[in-house]
Amino acid sequence: MYTMFIECNLKYNFMALVFKEVAAVKTIGMLGGMSWESTLSYYRIINEGIKESLGGLHSAKIVLYSVDFAEIEALQHQGDWEKTAEILGGAAQSVERAGADFLIICTNTMHKVFPVVEKAVGIPIIHIADATAHVLQKNYIHRAGLLGTRFTMEQPFYRGRLEENFNIEVLVPDEAGRSVVHEIIYRELCTGQINQDSKERFLSIIEGLRDQGAEAVILGCTEISLLVQQSDTDVLLYDTTALHAAKAVELALWEA
């Protein structure tokens, strides 16, 4: 998966980095556990990227803080975003104290509290929407479908960032489609359940977004790629988990 994104979208000049001193590789801070299934994908992709670049037995330097997702999910659906921001802000400070040079929040939805977490620390944070939008722009995608939780699809913290900062028109499914996507994410994907029927429903929704005029579809929840892959459809998919992780690898290897 990682190689595919390097070849097709990212085009990072990792060959120029092969001879970097190992000590110069930055430490990646990760706020994970939302859910741990997708955090596992982050961990794998990041380590594969470092190994592909540096070879041998090299792996990523990572400081990971994994939260209890049950607590976060309950607060999300209660609308208590202030409390979720407090939890993630404290976790981010712990990661910074542990020696991380920069940070990624390993979930799309919790970028709703990105501004609060950013203010809580003195290290840079890579925004997942920015990492995705830069690749969309490189590929001349101007109108994209967006799948994710209801929070991500409906609220302006994510789609507004794509539209206002990157001039990318964002399309989302209708009310029924949004309900299907949201429920499958929380009831199935976040608990590690992969069902063929749910895949077919997702693929139908993706086709519907293409019918609306989407040039590509953003998998705007870090669990969706556990269910749907590019090989399942000829609609161009942008996996935010892979793109975010790849951006972290790039920053970890790049000269300060």
Residues in the chain: 256
Cα dihedral across residues 50, 54, 57, 62: positive or negative: negative
The pLDDT of residue 112 is 97
Q: What's the first-to-final CA gap in the chain, in angstroms?
A: 27
Question: Are 2-127+242-253 and 129-239 equal in CATH topology?
Answer: yes
Per-residue pLDDT of the chain (256 residues; tens, 9 = 90+): 434 443 444 444 444 444 444 447 999 999 999 999 999 999 999 999 999 999 999 999 999 999 999 999 999 999 999 999 999 999 999 999 999 999 999 999 999 999 999 999 999 999 999 999 999 999 999 999 999 999 999 999 999 999 999 999 999 999 999 999 999 999 999 999 999 999 999 999 999 999 999 999 999 999 999 999 999 999 999 999 999 999 999 999 986 4
**144, 215 Cβ separation under 8 angstroms:** yes
User: Coil, strand, or helix at residue 94?
Assistant: helix
Domain segments of the chain as ranges: 2-127+242-253, 129-239
For residues 25 and 66, give the distance between their C-alpha atoms in angstroms, rounded to a whole number: 22
| pTM as predicted | 0.89
And the tokens for 83?
A: 């409390």
Single out the residue of 135, 240, 136 nearest to residue 185, CA to CA. Answer: 240
**CA distance linking residue 61 with residue 108, whole number of Å:** 23
- Strand, coil or helix: 137: helix
What's the pLDDT at 254?
A: 84
pLDDT in tens, 126-136: 999 999 999 99
The residue assigned the tokens 């979930």 is 107
Tokens of 111: 């970028």
Residue 85 has a pLDDT of: 97
Active site residues: 107, 221
Pairing of strands 169-171, 125-126: unpaired
Indicate the class that CATH gives domain 2-127+242-253.
alpha beta
Q: Does domain 129-239 bear CATH number 3.40.50.12780?
A: no
Q: What pLDDT is recorded for position 145?
A: 98
